[in-house]
Structure 1
C-alpha cells in the first residue's frame, strides 16, 4: 500500500439489521482526494442462508456522505445521517423498500446521534446547540467578531469540537411525518404576498407562517417544511447515549449534572418522562444504591423493560483516577436499587465503542478489548455471559434481529466488512477491501511474544516487507497509553512495509487489553516499564529474525507514542532517526493548555514538580542525539501545538538535526481522520524523512542537488 492508495480504505459502520433478519444496511466511507473529504453511501447487504444464490451488496443511497443507518422497529423506515459537501449531518428517513430520502432536521451544527421510539413514530436525536450570536447563528457575526468568552471552568474545550460550553449537546424529540404524504412546498408569489399581508394585518398565526416561509422562498432555511422538534434538555453540558425505554414513555441518557461536576470526571444516568406524545420535564437522576463515583458511558433499557444496562468506569475517591480503568457492564432494575457488575473489571474492557446493543429480552451485546483483538460478548441480566466471537480480528459493531446476528469487523486482510455469525462461525457477506488487496497489496502481520528484561511477556506484531533483507526497522509506538495495537489491517504499517521497512508494533505495560494491572503499571512511572518493554520487544525481534538490520533502526509514535519516542531517544542513541508526532512532551505546560490537561498529566505522572520533571521528555531533551522530525497539527487541543514547538526549538538550540512539520486546520486525529490530502502529505513527508536517514530500494534517498 502506498499513500496514493488511501481512497481504497473503505471503513464500514456497525450494521443495521432489518427486524425480519433478511438484510442489513451499512455505511461505507472512504477518503476521497478529489473532494478532499470523506465520502460514502449506504449499502444494502442480503443476509440469506448459505445455500441461497449469491446476491451481492448494492449501493442503496447516493448522498455525499451517508452514515449511521438504523431501521425503525416496525421495519418500515430506514433513518440515517446525510451530510452534503461542506455541510453538517442531518437526519433523513426513507422507506425501507427504497425511495427518495426525506430530510427531518436542519440543526445549525448538525445531528450527532439518534434513536428510534418503540412505536416507530418518533426519533430522539442529539445536536450541538449554539448560543445566540455564535457559530454563524447571527448573520454578519463571524467567528472573529463574536463576543469574548469568560471562562470559569476546567472543562471548556474538547479536541475536534473546540469550545463546548457555548454549544452543548442537547436532546430533541421529533414526530416523523408520514412518508406517503404529499411533500410540503414553500409558498411564493401571490401566496407568499397573501400570507405577508395577513401578518401585516395583525393575524399572529399568519404572521408566524409568513416569517417561517419567507426565508424558505429565499432558500436560506427549510423552516416550516420540516417537522417541528421539541428540545428536551437545556443544561450547559453534553447529554449523550440517549435512548427510549421499552414502552416508549421514558428516555434515559448520560450527563454530568451533579454539583461539582467541573472538578471531576464523573457522570450519571438520568431520565425524562415523555409519554406517548412529546412531553418532557426536568431530568431525574437514576443512581444505583451501591456504586461510587463513576464515569458512565452508555445506558440502555432491556427489551423486556425490566433492566437497565450501563457501561461505567470507577474513578476512585478523587473522581479523577481514570488511569487504565477498564470499562465494565452493570445492570440494575429499571425501578431502582443496587447495580450488579456483569463483567470482570480486571480482565475485560468493554469501552471499545461506547455502545450497548440489545439482543434477547434481557441480554446485550458488547465489544471487549482482548490481547490485540476485539471480541463479541453476550451478557444476560441474570449474570450469564458468553463469548460469541474471538480470535485474530477486531469486531467493530454487532446487531441481532430476527434470526440473524450480524457483525462488522476488520482483520489482517480487510479494513472493514460484514459477516453473519452462525453456530460460532463467520459467514462473510461483503468484500469491500477487494480493491485494496488487488491494487495495493497487503502484508500480513506476524504475531510475536517477547520477554521483557524482567521476564514479563510483551505481545505484538512484525510486518515485514518483501525480499530477503536486511531490512531497516521502524519501531512504532501507539498512543493512549491505555490503547492497543491489533493484528487488523493498519494503514501505517502497510505504507511503511511497502516502502521497504520492517515494522514492529507491541503493547507494552500501560496498554489496554491485558488487564488493569498491565495498564496501571506505569501510573506515576511513565517511561520506565513501558520503555523497557518496547526496547525488549525490539531486541527480541532482532535476535529472532536475521533479515532485520540491527544497524538501521528508526523509532516513531504519536500522542503517548510521541512521548515514549522522545523519552526513549534521550536514553538510547542507537536509532538513526526518530519521528515525534503530536506528543505529550512537557507535563508542566500541558496542564494549562490541553483540553484534558487539568487532570491527565497529574494522574499519569503525579502532580509534584519533581515527579513531572522526572518523567518529562522536555526535561531530558539535552540528552537527545537522534535526528528528529516533529509533527503537529495547529488545532490539536489534546496535545497542543506548543508541545511540539517547544520540543523542536530545544532540539535546534542543542544542535540536533530537527524539522517541524505543521498541519493547518487539523487536530489530534490527523493520522486517522484528517483531510485526505493532509493524510497523504503526512505519509509522503514521513517517507522522505526515512529516505534521508534509512534509505531503502523502494524509498531511496533523494539525489543531491547540483
Structure 2
C-alpha cells in the first residue's frame, strides 16, 4: 500500500462526487450528465454538466444550490429539459443550448418529474403527482410559507386509512395523490392530462409517430392486493387504450423500436416470487403478441449491484439499435455488471464486462457512454466504440483519489458445506504489514436478492481504513449466479445462507494467517441485519456485532412493514395466520437468550420497510436479559439512511459502527 496517502474517513462521504445519467446530444459530439455532492450536513446538490468528446473538461450548466437532474436534449439538440428543486419541489425547466437562463415550465402543486421529448420535439411528456380533481391547466406552486401552513393543518387532523397499501418507505403515509402522465405542448405552452385512474402510472415511451403513449400501471380492480404491473398503449388523440400484458406479471423499462412496430421490456410473472430473474420480452405493438428472448439465459437483467453512494439511480432497461435488430442492456453476473447485446432471436453477446460496475449507459449509433465504477473509484464516464475499446472521459474524484488510500479487494471462491461455489471479496486493512494480526469484520448485504461486487462501497473501505480485514460475500439468495442460486434462501432463512457465511469465515481463517480469530465482528443491514441477529443467536464466535435496519420478529413484521403482508410469504413461505409458529422459528428474537455477543442496534425512526419496532423489541429483550446491547435511533431516517440519508446522519451512523467495533474488537 502507498503510505504517502491518508486513510479514508467517514467525513469523506461529503467529498465524493457521484456521476449518473449520461445522455448523448443528438449529433453525438457531446453528452450531458448529473453530478451529485453533499452541499451541507442535511442535503445534497445535483448539477448538470456537458462534455464534448474533444478533450475538454466537463462544463457546468446549472449552478444553483438545488437538485438539478434528468437532463434530456430535444431531437434537434437546441433545447434541454430537466427537473430542478430550485423553486421548492421538483419542477420542469427548459434551457436553450446556445446560452441564456433556464425557464420554468411547470408550477404544479406537488411537482413534475421525469421529462421526455416526443420524437418530433413538439411535446414533452412527464409525470406529476395529482389529486383526483386537480386541473393541470391551472396549477399553482405553493410558497414555502403556504406549504408549511398546509402541513401544520394536516397534523391537526387524524389520518383515515382504508387501503392495504397505505404507506411506503421513503414516502411515508400515502394520501390521495397518484402519479399521472401529462403532455406539454412546447409551442402552445399548454398541458393535457393523459391518465386518470386512481393508481400510479409510469411513463415508458412515446411512439415514433407521436400517436401512442406507452405506460405501465396496475389497473386491476384488486390492485390494492396485487403487485402486478402491466404495459398499456394509449392513443393520444382518441384516448383508446390497449393492454399488452396479461395481468399476471410485473413489466417495465419498456421502449418502442425505431419504427414503432415493436416494444421491448423487462418483466417476469413471479415464478419465484421476489427472487424471479427478469426476462427480456418483445411485443408486437399492433397485435400485442409477445415473445421472450431470454428463455435460455440464466442471469439477472438489469443492475442488481449494491453500493452506498449511487443514491438510488434508476435502471436503464433495454435500448434498441437504430435498425431495430438488436437490444442493449445492463446485466448482472458473478459480482460484476456489464453491457450486453441481444438480437431479436435471442442470440446474446457481451459487449463490455470487466471487474467493474457498469451503472448506466447511453447509445448514439455505434458509440456508447458507459458509467463505470470499481471498488477503488466511485465512478467515471467512458467512451466505447463499436470495437468495444473504451476511452476514459472524466476524472470525477481525482483530488480525493490522489490523497486517499483505498483497498483493492481480493476475489475469493470457496465451497459451501454442500459443495456449492460461493463468491466473496477480502479487503486488507490500511497500513497492512506482514506478520501482524488484524481484527476482522464480516459484512452481510441486504435484499436478500441483491449482489455485492466490483463497485465502490464507502462503508467497506472505511472499515478497512480503520484497520479491519473486511470480508463480504454473496451467499445463496444473492443475484449474479442464476435462478436456482437466487431462489435458494427462500423458506430457508437462517439455514444454508447462514452456513454459507460461516463457511466463508472458516475459509479465510484457514487461508489468511493475518486474521485474529479471537477478534471477529459481523454487521449488515435489512436482510443483513436479520442475518446479523441470527448469527449472534446461533454462535458466539463473534466478539462484536452491529445490526442495522434489521428484522427481529417476523410475527410483527407481517403487519408493520410496508411490504410485510406479501414479503413474509414470498420469503418464508407462510403468512402470519397460516403458520405463526413457523414465523416465530424464523425470528431472531426467539433466540435472544443465546446472544452473548455485544450488539449495537442501529435503526431509522421513519423506516417503514423494517420499522424501528423491530430494533426496539430486540433491544428491550436483550436489555431485560442484562446483555451487552446499545440502541442508536436516527430521527427522520428511512430504510435508505446508509445510501441517501442526510449526510450528517450517514456520517454519524458510520462513526457509531466503527466506535462499537473499536471498543469490542
On whether the aligned pair clears a TM of 0.5, the verdict is yes
Residue in structure 2 matched with residue 6 of structure 1 by the alignment? 13
Which range moves more in the overlay, 128-137 or 338-347?
Answer: 128-137
Q: How big is the shift at 1:129? A: 2.0
Q: How big is the shift at 1:84? A: 2.3
> Helix, strand or coil for the counterpart of 2:274?
coil
- Describe how 1:280-429 pairs up with structure 2 within 5 A: 281=239, 283-287=241-245, 293-316=248-271, 322-344=273-295, 347-352=298-303, 353-356=314-317, 357-362=319-324, 363-422=326-385, 423-429=387-393
Please state if 1:66 is matched with 2:68.
yes
Residue in structure 1 matched with residue 610 of structure 2 by the alignment? 639
**Which among 657, 663, 671 is matched to residue 628 of structure 2?**
657
Residue in structure 2 matched with residue 604 of structure 1 by the alignment? 571
What is the distance in 2 between the residues matched to 1:365 and 1:8? 33
Please state if 1:497 is matched with 2:464.
yes
Flag structure 2 segments of 5+ consecutive residues without an equivalent: 1-7, 135-140, 304-313
What is the distance in 2 between the residues matched to 1:375 and 1:272? 33
Residue in structure 2 matched with residue 552 of structure 1 by the alignment? 519
What is the distance in 2 between the residues matched to 1:329 and 1:140? 45
**Which among 31, 37, 44 is matched to residue 38 of structure 1?**
44
Cα contact 1:20–1:402 (8 A) shared by 2: no
Q: How big is the shift at 1:137? A: 7.1
What is the distance in 1 between the residues matched to 2:446 and 2:414? 20
What is the distance in 1 between the residues matched to 2:242 and 2:252? 17
What is the distance in 1 between the residues matched to 2:599 and 2:27? 57
**Which among 249, 258, 268 is matched to residue 220 of structure 2?**
258
> Helix, strand or coil for the counterpart of 2:360?
strand
What is the distance in 2 between the residues matched to 1:579 and 1:123? 48
> Helix, strand or coil for the counterpart of 1:323?
helix
Q: How big is the shift at 1:235? A: 1.6
Q: Deviations over 1:227-264 (max 9, x none)?
A: 44222112221111432011111100000002322222
> Which is higher, the Rg of structure 1 or of structure 2?
1
Query: Structure 2 vs 1, CA of residues 141 and 79 (structure 1 numbering), >3 Å: closer, same or farther?
Result: closer
Flag structure 1 segments of 5+ consecutive residues without an equivalent: 49-53, 179-226, 695-706
Residue in structure 2 matched with residue 156 of structure 1 by the alignment? 166
Query: Structure 2 vs 1, CA of residues 231 and 17 (structure 1 numbering), >3 Å: closer, same or farther?
Result: same
Residue in structure 2 matched with residue 190 of structure 1 by the alignment? none
**Which among 427, 432, 452 is matched to residue 467 of structure 1?**
432
What is the distance in 2 between the residues matched to 1:437 and 1:264? 47
What is the distance in 2 between the residues matched to 1:152 and 1:601? 22
Residue in structure 2 matched with residue 57 of structure 1 by the alignment? 58
What is the distance in 2 between the residues matched to 1:345 and 1:42? 40
Which range moves more in the overlay, 146-155 or 134-143?
Answer: 134-143
Q: Deviations over 1:49-104 (max 9, x none)?
A: xxxxx32222222132211112112222112111228x322111212233321111
What is the distance in 2 between the residues matched to 1:692 and 1:459? 30
Residue in structure 1 matched with residue 311 of structure 2 by the alignment? none
What is the distance in 1 between the residues matched to 2:238 and 2:394? 42
What is the distance in 2 between the residues matched to 1:600 and 1:266? 14
What is the distance in 1 between the residues matched to 2:441 and 2:567? 28
Residue in structure 2 matched with residue 79 of structure 1 by the alignment? 81
Cα contact 1:327–1:345 (8 A) shared by 2: no
Cα contact 1:366–1:377 (8 A) shared by 2: yes
Please state if 1:434 is matched with 2:420.
no
Q: How big is the shift at 1:111? A: 2.5
Q: How big is the shift at 1:488? A: 1.2
Residue in structure 2 matched with residue 245 of structure 1 by the alignment? 207
Q: How big is the shift at 1:370? A: 0.8
> Helix, strand or coil for the counterpart of 2:476?
coil
Residue in structure 2 matched with residue 704 of structure 1 by the alignment? none
Q: Deviations over 1:608-642 (max 9, x none)?
A: 11321221111212211111000110111100111
- Describe how 1:585-596 pairs up with structure 2 within 5 A: 585-596=552-563
TM-score by structure 1 length? Answer: 0.85
Cα contact 2:383–2:390 (8 A) shared by 1: yes
Q: How big is the shift at 1:409? A: 1.7
Query: Structure 2 vs 1, CA of residues 139 and 489 (structure 1 numbering), >3 Å: closer, same or farther?
Result: closer
> Helix, strand or coil for the counterpart of 2:283?
strand
Q: How big is the shift at 1:154? A: 2.0
Q: How big is the shift at 1:341? A: 1.1
Residue in structure 2 matched with residue 510 of structure 1 by the alignment? 477
> Helix, strand or coil for the counterpart of 1:538?
helix
Which range moves more in the overlay, 138-147 or 608-617?
Answer: 138-147
What is the distance in 2 between the residues matched to 1:361 and 1:171? 29
Cα contact 2:118–2:124 (8 A) shared by 1: yes
Query: Structure 2 vs 1, CA of residues 280 and 556 (structure 1 numbering), >3 Å: closer, same or farther?
Result: farther
Residue in structure 1 matched with residue 22 of structure 2 by the alignment? 15
> Helix, strand or coil for the counterpart of 2:464?
helix
Residue in structure 1 matched with residue 184 of structure 2 by the alignment? 174
**Which among 620, 623, 629 is matched to residue 591 of structure 2?**
620
Query: Structure 2 vs 1, CA of residues 347 and 633 (structure 1 numbering), >3 Å: closer, same or farther?
Result: same
Residue in structure 2 matched with residue 568 of structure 1 by the alignment? 535
TM-score by structure 2 length? Answer: 0.90
Q: Deviations over 1:444-476 (max 9, x none)?
A: 111111111222111011111122231110100
Query: Structure 2 vs 1, CA of residues 484 and 665 (structure 1 numbering), >3 Å: closer, same or farther?
Result: same
Q: CA RMSD in A?
A: 2.1
What is the distance in 1 between the residues matched to 2:376 and 2:302? 25
What is the distance in 2 between the residues matched to 1:616 and 1:605? 11
Which range moves more in the overlay, 628-637 or 263-272?
Answer: 263-272
Query: Structure 2 vs 1, CA of residues 552 and 132 (structure 1 numbering), >3 Å: closer, same or farther?
Result: farther
Q: How big is the shift at 1:143? A: 5.6
> Helix, strand or coil for the counterpart of 2:266?
strand
